[in-house]
Structure 1
Amino acid sequence: MFGLTFEKLLLIGIIAVFLLGPEKLPHYAAQLGRLVRQLRDMANGAKDRMKDEMGPEFDDVDWKKLDPRQYDPRRIIREALTEDEPVKPQSAVISRTGPNPDSAYLQRKRAREGALTGPAPFDSEAT
């Protein structure tokens, strides 16, 4: 329950007795009980409303799968990377053939050079 052990709850109770005093403690304990009961009723009401709105699909949902504590980004990335076919290991041999003629850099460079060597653009409608 929120990481509270019996010893921690006992310590909180002792501090509450000293801070509130024995005459006010029953009143505040009753208020705490009412608050916990209201929160539990609100949670059950939300659960019932969700059951009503979702209909029969409510029972088919795997709630453990949607638990945020199950979210592990490292596991998700690892699974996403291993879904595809395994990548072939690259050899240690370095290619000496030169740059790829179809690389994006060389294509942009050729386009710039072609634009500079051709005639200047002319717009007949320009003033």
Structure 2
Amino acid sequence: MFGLTFEKLLLIGILAVFLLGPERLPYYASQLARLVKNLKKMADGAKDRMREEMGPDFDDVDWKKLDPRQYDPRRIIREALVEEVTTPSAPPVAESAYMKRKRRLEEEGRRAPFDAEAT
């Protein structure tokens, strides 16, 4: 949770007790609880709305593939620039979405879309 350990949370709590004092601490604690509840409600509402709009496809989506931490620009550039060399002894490498789309377009006999005005 944002790199906060138990010790750091305890230190924040102790500082809050000294800075706010015993009179104002219950009020701010209830405000924090209300904020956390509202954030949870908003996240659940967004999830429910997404599930409602996507329909049954929502459960089929592999959310781990869409995780931006999986993005590796070096691999994408390497796949885009290097020709595929197939050797029978090499283990299969997971294809990126770019390579899958490129292969699909080549099989259909089409080229990738190009926008001359974008350059």
If asked which structure has higher relative contact order (CA below 8 Å, sep 6+), I would say 2
Q: Bin the TM-score by the shorter chain.
A: 0.5 to 0.7
Give the Cα–Cα distance (whole angstroms) in 2 for the partners of residues 22 and 75 of structure 1: 55
Superposed, 1:33-112 pairs within 5 Å as 33-82=33-82, 84-86=83-85
Counting helix residues as a fraction of each chain, which structure ranks higher? Answer: 2
Deviation at 1:72, TM superposition (A): 1.9
Give the Cα–Cα distance (whole angstroms) in 1 for the partners of residues 49 and 36 of structure 2: 20
Query: Which ranges in structure 1 are unaligned for 5 or more consecutive residues?
Result: 87-127
Larger Rg: 1
Give the Cα–Cα distance (whole angstroms) in 2 for the partners of residues 78 and 5 of structure 1: 39
Query: Which ranges in structure 2 are unaligned for 5 or more consecutive residues?
Result: 86-119
Distance 1:59 1:68, change over 3 A: same
Superposed, 1:21-40 pairs within 5 Å as 21-40=21-40
Deviation at 1:69, TM superposition (A): 1.6
Deviation at 1:66, TM superposition (A): 0.7
Deviation at 1:27, TM superposition (A): 0.9
Deviation at 1:74, TM superposition (A): 1.9
Q: Structure 1 counterpart of 2:84, which letter? A: E
Deviation at 1:81, TM superposition (A): 4.1
- Give % identity: 81
Q: Give the alignment's TM-score, normalised by structure 2.
A: 0.66
Deviation at 1:75, TM superposition (A): 2.7
**How many residues get paired?**
85
